[in-house]
Structure 1
Amino acid sequence: MPVLIFFVAHYYLSLFTQTFYLHRYAAHKMFTMNKFWEKFFFLFTYVCQGSSFLSPRAYALLHRMHHAYSDTEMDPHSPLFSSNAFSMMWKTKNIYNDVLNRNYAAAERFEGDYPEWVSLERFSATAVSRIGWGALYVLFYVQFATAWWMYLLLPIHFLMGPIHGAIVNWGGHKYGYQNFDNHDHSKNTLALDFLAFGELFQNNHHKLPMRVNFGVKWWEFDPTYSVIWMLDKAHIIKIKRKVTAQKLRVAA
């Protein structure tokens, strides 16, 4: 039981930090926060993602490219140009590393307005950090695993961030329904969104990229927005822009 609790906690905490901090804050700046909370959530993202921590800067640039070039050959992670999810992940990894190392000219036009913590980002990319987190996961399993098959979950821990990205970018541009014609293949994959905390409302998000609530229809529930709403009410963050229901009806 401790192993399964740890797995679920790691999966959803890593997922939350990716959608809340990396996506909605770093890439889109849908809300603001002061420097203390920016550093707090930066560190929280590092701890929750662990061995698969993604640089907020590199994530933001890749995601801005994804919106600008959605489902074209310039898109860093469109399933239309990969034969399977694994090859898409590998392509994305290579582009991510180039962007991280400032060796990708196509990303330069999207620079700026993202959180930075240079020393932590440099450390997070080292073997000491990556292997260190992986070793902690293994030691936890050695201590608490009660069946051999539990060890099969370890690779998911090691690659949690990229796996979340693969679920969203493969599923959200391959399967589901469309509320809007965005001139791309973005879709809402509602059936799988329990694995993505609102991220699989890709069609809605591509139509309304600054809307903090990714659900548009009354039955489209975005769990991350519920947390963002509470943080806004607690004055920890401030939602930058609210799209009214009237504007949504016009857009739809």
Structure 2
Amino acid sequence: MAVLVFFLAHWFLSLFCQTFFLHRYASHKMFSMNRFWERFFYAFTVLVQGSSFLNPRAYAIMHRMHHAYSDTEKDPHSPHFFKDVWQMTMQTKEIYVNYVNNKVEPEKAFRGNYPEWKWLDKLSNYWSVRIGFGVLYFLFYLQFATSWWMFLLLPIHFFMGPIHGAIVNWCGHKYGYSNYDNNDHSKNSLPLDFLLMGELFQNNHHKSPNSINFAKKWFEFDPTYPVILLLNKLHIIKLKRH
């Protein structure tokens, strides 16, 4: 039971940080927050993503590229130019690493207006730190796993962030239904996106990139949306008026 709780907590907390902080805040600035809360969620993202922490600057640049060049050859992770999800993920990783290490200068349109915390980015990107998180995951399983097959879940913990991204980028542009013609292959993979907390409403999101609620039809539900409304009500964030 402890392993299952730990796995689900890691899955959904990591996913929440990706959709709330990296996607809706860092990439789109759908809402604002003061410096304290920005640093809080920045550090929280490092903590819960752990070994697979995704740099907010690099994430934002690539996501903005994805919107600008959706499902074209300049899209950093369109599934329609790769034979399988592994090949797409490796290409995405190469582009991501170049931005993290400042080896490539992004186009002007994709720069700026994203959170940066240079010393924490540097610290979290050390292999020793990433491996350290992995060791902690292993030790937890060593203590609480009740069967050998549970250890097969460990690789998911190690690569949680990229796994979430791969599912969204592959499934969200190949499988599902479309509410809108966006001149790309974006799909809504699940009408009730309990699996990825709204990230699989890719067709809706590409239609309205700055809409805080990824669900658009009466039968759709974006689990992150009510959480954002609560954070706004608590004055932790401030929603923008459109």
Q: TM-score range by the shorter chain?
A: over 0.9
Match of 1:76 in 2: 76
- The reply on whether 1:216 has 2:216 as its aligned counterpart is yes
Amino acid at match of 1:170: W
Q: Take 1:49 and 1:22, find their aligned partners in 2: how far apart are those partners?
A: 11
Match of 1:104 in 2: 104
Match of 2:121 in 1: 121
% identical equivalent positions:
65
Match of 2:19 in 1: 19
Q: Quick check: 2:191–2:221 contact (8 Å CA) kept in 1?
A: no
Q: Take 1:241 and 1:216, find their aligned partners in 2: how far apart are those partners?
A: 18
Structure 1 residues 159 and 108: alpha-carbon distance in aligned structure 2, compared to 1, 3 A threshold: farther
Q: Take 1:67 and 1:165, find their aligned partners in 2: how far apart are those partners?
A: 15
Q: How far has the Cα of 1:100 moved from its partner?
A: 1.0
Between 107-116 and 138-147, the greater mean CA deviation after superposition: 107-116
Q: Take 1:23 and 1:58, find their aligned partners in 2: how far apart are those partners?
A: 11
Amino acid at match of 2:69: Y
Q: How far has the Cα of 1:105 moved from its partner?
A: 3.7
Between 189-198 and 154-163, the greater mean CA deviation after superposition: 189-198
Q: Which runs of 5+ in 2 are unaligned?
A: none
Root-mean-square deviation over aligned CA pairs: 1.1
Please report the TM-score for the alignment, with normalisation by the length of structure 2.
Answer: 0.98
Q: Which runs of 5+ in 1 are unaligned?
A: 243-252
Q: Take 2:172 and 2:150, find their aligned partners in 1: how far apart are those partners?
A: 29
Amino acid at match of 1:163: I
Match of 1:245 in 2: none
Q: Quick check: 1:177–1:187 contact (8 Å CA) kept in 2?
A: yes
Amino acid at match of 1:75: D
Match of 1:90 in 2: 90
Per-residue Cα deviation, 1:89-112 (whole angstroms, up to 9, x for no partner):
111000000111122244453110
Structure 1 residues 202 and 196: alpha-carbon distance in aligned structure 2, compared to 1, 3 A threshold: same
- Determine helix, strand or coil for the equivalent of 2:8: helix
Q: Take 2:195 and 2:159, find their aligned partners in 1: how far apart are those partners?
A: 15
Aligned length in residues: 242
- Determine helix, strand or coil for the equivalent of 1:193: coil
Match of 1:48 in 2: 48
Per-residue Cα deviation, 1:52-106 (whole angstroms, up to 9, x for no partner):
0000000000000000000001000000011111111111000000111122244
Q: Take 1:219 and 1:71, find their aligned partners in 2: how far apart are those partners?
A: 27
Q: Take 2:157 and 2:127, find their aligned partners in 1: how far apart are those partners?
A: 16
Q: Quick check: 2:79–2:173 contact (8 Å CA) kept in 1?
A: yes
Match of 1:247 in 2: none
Between 100-109 and 45-54, the greater mean CA deviation after superposition: 100-109
Q: Which runs of 4+ in 1 moved over 3 A?
A: 105-109
Point out the structure with the larger helix share. Answer: 1
Please report the TM-score for the alignment, with normalisation by the length of structure 1.
Answer: 0.94
